[in-house]
Amino acid sequence: MAVEYQQIRVDAPLEDDFRQLIRLAVREDFDRQIDWTTVSLVPEDRIGKCQVAVREAGIAAGLVTLPWIIDEMNLELRIETLVEDGDRVAAGQIVAQIEGSARDILSSERIVLNTLCRMFGIATFTDRFVQQISGTKARLYDTRKTTLGWRRMDKYAVRCGGGTNHRLGLFDAFLIKDNHLALAGPGEAIPPSEAVAKAKSWAGGESAGMKAPQIVEVEVDTLEQFQDVLPAGPDIILLDNFSLDDLRQAVAIRNEKSPQIELEASGNVKLETIREIAETGVDRISSGALTHAARWLDLGLDWTHDFS
């Protein structure tokens, strides 16, 4: 098995990225002013209790962010999460309870729900793909097709849904694509095998005080390119938009000649097609749809007591 890409977990970089998103969200909602509606209608000393409920079944993701929102916005709130990220949740299930300043609850409601609806949605959509390939050897990967600024959070949500993270950015792997091949030579395209050799000569070495990544992956568009690059020994070969027959042929050739190299299928990966792609014998399937096409899950915030 090839060396795996970095997998997103709850850590300091994840928290730091999200706190920056919250600062931007606060600027969007308040524009350095105040929540005029809440301040005009709700007494400063009013205490509120509410619950966050899911309106439809799905996979929990993003609950870990709630304490960060409260802290970053300096809210006078107490929060209790009732499920953990990655848990399955039923329609109508309460996933969190919040108590404290009613003004703070109202002013942070949209930021809380936008975060959870988005992340629950990505996790739930990912889970649907994962279920489709259950029982095969294939693993499901995300891509860099994420909303600007949200990459760590989007990829964390994919992990909550049972998916696996592909490279986080340009810094943590060599991924040679067709546009690299078109420009990497002296005025003309170079074959994938030569590009892999060049990348491998850099892998793990030092450049300007920085250590280069170790994983070398290359994208090919045809069986001819695949057969050219196989002897070069990349860690992963990405089979872009291959037909099912070509995927099967590539797997058979790999199994015979270089079984240590992993094969990744990408392109036209949908819920309706992923099972048959997995059944060709590829090791990995990557899809940008996990993060760019996921529908937000419906969650709501409701008061739990009468204010009269």
Would you list the DSSP string of 60-122? ---GGGHHHHHHHTT--EEEEESS-TT-EE-TT-EEEEEEEEHHHHHHHHHHHHHHHHHHHHH
Is 288 part of any known ligand binding site?
yes
98 and 161 together in one domain: no
81 is in which domain, residue-wise? Answer: 12-122+295-303
Q: What does the alpha-carbon distance between residue 195 and residue 118 come to, in Å, rounded to a whole number?
A: 38
Residues 58-104: pLDDT tens digits? 999 999 999 999 999 999 999 999 999 999 999 999 999 999 999 99
Could you tell me if residue 1 is inside a domain?
no
Q: CA torsion 246→250→253→258, rounded to 10°?
A: 170
Q: What is the mean pLDDT of residues 118-143?
A: 98
Over its C-alpha atoms, the chain yields an Rg (Å, rounded) of 23
Q: Which helix (H) or strand (E) holds 78?
A: strand 77-81
Asked whether residue 213 carries a pLDDT value surpassing 90, the answer given is no
Could you tell me if residue 271 is inside a domain?
yes
Integer angstrom CA distances of residue 117 from 75, 161, 225: 21, 14, 42
Is 198 part of any known ligand binding site?
no
Is 308 part of any known ligand binding site?
no
Is 289 part of any known ligand binding site?
yes
Residues 50-69: pLDDT tens digits? 999 999 999 999 999 999 99
140 and 113 together in one domain: no
Is 211 part of any known ligand binding site?
no
In eight-state DSSP terms, residue 212 is P
Could you tell me if residue 2 is inside a domain?
no
148 and 287 together in one domain: yes
143 and 269 together in one domain: yes
Asked whether residue 308 carries a pLDDT value surpassing 50, the answer given is no
Phi, psi angles (nearest 5°) of residue 20: -65, -35
In eight-state DSSP terms, residue 232 is G
Residue-level pLDDT at 186: 63
Is 219 part of any known ligand binding site?
yes
Is 60 part of any known ligand binding site?
no
81 and 141 together in one domain: no
- Domain CATH number, residue 166: 3.20.20.70
SS3 276: helix
Could you tell me if residue 105 is inside a domain?
yes
90 and 185 together in one domain: no
Total domains in the fold of the chain: 2
Is 81 part of any known ligand binding site?
no
Residue-level pLDDT at 2: 58
Is 275 part of any known ligand binding site?
no
104 and 150 together in one domain: no
- Answer for the pair 62, 118: CB distance below 8 angstroms, yes or no: yes
Give the catalytic positions in this structure.
110, 145, 177, 219, 240
Could you tell me if residue 143 is inside a domain?
yes
Q: What is the mean pLDDT of residues 224-233?
A: 95
113 and 150 together in one domain: no
Could you tell me if residue 167 is inside a domain?
yes
55 and 134 together in one domain: no
Residue-level pLDDT at 150: 97
174 and 115 together in one domain: no
Would you list the DSSP string of 172-208? S-EEE-HHHHHHSSSSS---HHHHHHHHHHHTT-EET
- Answer for the pair 286, 143: CB distance below 8 angstroms, yes or no: yes
More confident residue, 237 or 213: 237
- Domain CATH number, residue 79: 3.90.1170.20
Could you tell me if residue 308 is inside a domain?
no
33 and 155 together in one domain: no
65 and 175 together in one domain: no
Could you tell me if residue 5 is inside a domain?
no
- 128-132, 182-186, 210-214, 264-268, range with the lowest pLDDT: 182-186
Quick one: what percent of the chain has pLDDT higher than 70? 97
Is 40 part of any known ligand binding site?
no
Is 204 part of any known ligand binding site?
no
